[in-house]
Amino acid sequence: MVILKVRDLKVRYSSGGPEILKGISFDVESDDFFAIIGPSGAGKSTLIRCINHLVEPSSGEIVFDDRPVMQLNGRQMRALRRDIGMIFQEFNLIDRMSVMDNVLSGRLGYTGTIRSIVRSFSREDIDRALELLERVGLTDHIDKRADELSGGQRQRVGIARALMQEPKLLLLDEPTSALDPKISREIMGLIKGMARELNVPCLCNIHDVNLAMAFCNKILGLQDGEVMFNGPTEQMNQDKLNEIYAMEVL
């Protein structure tokens, strides 16, 4: 079943500026771990951020969970963003808050800002946060401030926070670029395993081609805002990679 449909998506940041995305089309199905690869400046982050409307497309169509994203009003957009979890390159944690409070902030779209500030969470939310922290291996760090953690631990908090939303889609924006190779593989394996357990499809902007090939079942290859490859990972080969990265050394 298709959970996300993108058709002929175009983006330019100013009326006279260059096109960043030039007619991108692809589908994400409910069991996909879908990678977006390509050289720097190809439009990968822009594409990811169009999905939950952090970037306004110039034209085209995005349909998520049968909802036309570009036609939603403010209330409908807030509801849509509750259904899309996001894991960031730089973690986007609140350093002065504890690990537990950072994870519980994933319920902000459901509880509201005031209840979140006064930490008025249900027992069900607290139990779920504890369960997710156990799953990502941070049970012993619940009361630590986020800025006391290593990079890999901080990304684990980010994973738990995103899943705390109970999303229907996970967006991953360079989730391993700040991590060393060993931790990167651990984090990708953790995300893939938890997403599979919870039946959450993933769309992952990733700079590391080897990680994309190892963990993702489909790949979208971009170059200068255009699709150079869209298909199963097993159909990707060195010739296609050379074409995608023609202006960049792998």
125 and 244 housed in the same domain: no
Picking from 137, 166, 195, the residue at the C-terminal end of a domain is 166
CB 168 within 8 A of CB 79: no
Percent over 90 (pLDDT), the chain? 82
| pTM confidence score | 0.91
Which of 166, 186, 207 is the endpoint of a domain? 166
Co-location of 14 and 53 in the same domain? yes
Nearest C-alpha neighbor of 107 from the set 90, 129, 88, 86: 129
One domain for residues 22 and 78: yes
Q: Domain residues for 212? A: 1-83+171-250
49 occurs within a structural domain = yes
- Which pLDDT belongs to residue 185? 96
Counting the structural domains of the chain, the total is: 2
Residue 170 has pLDDT above 60, yes or no: yes
Q: Determine the Cα–Cα distance for residues 112 and 145; give it in Å rounded to an integer.
A: 22
Among candidate residues 166, 181, 207, the one where a domain is terminated: 166
Condensed to tens digits (0 to 9), the pLDDT of residues 184-230 reads 999 999 999 999 999 999 999 999 999 999 999 999 999 999 999 99
Coil/strand/helix, residue 198: coil
Provide the pLDDT for residue 250: 46
**Alpha helices of the chain — where are they, by DSSP H?**
44-51, 74-82, 99-104, 108-111, 113-117, 123-135, 151-164, 181-197, 209-215, 238-244
143 and 207 together in one domain: no
